[in-house]
Amino acid sequence: MITVHHLEDSRSQRVLWLLEELGQDYAVKRYDRDKSTKLAPPGLKAVHPLGKSPVIEDDGRVVAETGPIVEYLIDKYGGGKFRPQKGTDDYLKYVYWMHFAEGSAMTQLILKMFFTEIKNAKVPFFVKPIAKAIAGRVLGTYVDPNIRDQLDFIETELQGQEWFAGPEISGADIMMVFPLEAVQKLTSLTTRHNCSAYIRRIHQRSAYRRALEKGGPYAYS
């Protein structure tokens, strides 16, 4: 049986969702974040040297990182679904969004979370103006404009279509849901009607709701 090493409020929720969509049996080993640092607990290093989630174990294999896990599960259990046919335009879109999710989208969102934390951190009064000014400048001149550009792009790409890579749901959607959920948590999507409708569409899927039951409380749902 597949074991998912699942960290609360993390990318690994996507792996549970995919397994529910695939109809595969799996076990969840759940980990709580450190209350002060918000990082994964040391116990995950017993599974993978980097101590990050998600990690799965399947048939003696340990597979880490969401993208490789999604590809592995679709290749092994997808039965030809969840991935467009190679050589098609939809397949190129599939590959693009699979990599965009972590390569472009999550990079900016992590910077957003990091510098927002610095901006609002409790520090000595003589340091606070400097920290706030530096963080505000990085956010205002680099991070926020990049996030806006990405959302404009995604909003346009979702115009008139339900999924990112063709008429059927695919691994690209499994990958893209978390950055969109995260950005919705960090900022408003009220003017991004296609993005908002996309998230609602995913949240209404029975497989997604079953994954929430298996994974426990999830701040981005």
- The pLDDT, as a whole number, for residue 147 is 95
Sign of the C-alpha dihedral, residues 212, 216, 220, 221?
positive
Phi-psi region of 38 (alpha: psi -120 to 50; beta: other; left: phi over 0): left
Residue 23 CA to residue 217 CA, distance in Å, equals 21
Q: H or E element: which one contains 99? A: helix 89-100
217: CB partners within 8 A, 6+ apart? 8, 9
What string of pLDDT tens digits covers the 221 residues of the chain? 999 999 999 999 999 999 999 999 999 999 999 888 888 999 899 999 999 999 999 999 999 999 999 999 999 999 999 999 999 999 999 999 999 999 999 999 999 988 888 888 776 766 678 878 888 899 999 999 999 999 999 999 999 999 999 999 999 999 999 999 999 988 888 899 999 999 999 999 999 999 999 999 999 88
Query: Following DSSP, what letter does each residue of 66-85 receive, concatenated?
Result: HHHHHHHHHHHH-TT-SSPP
Three-state SS at 209:
helix
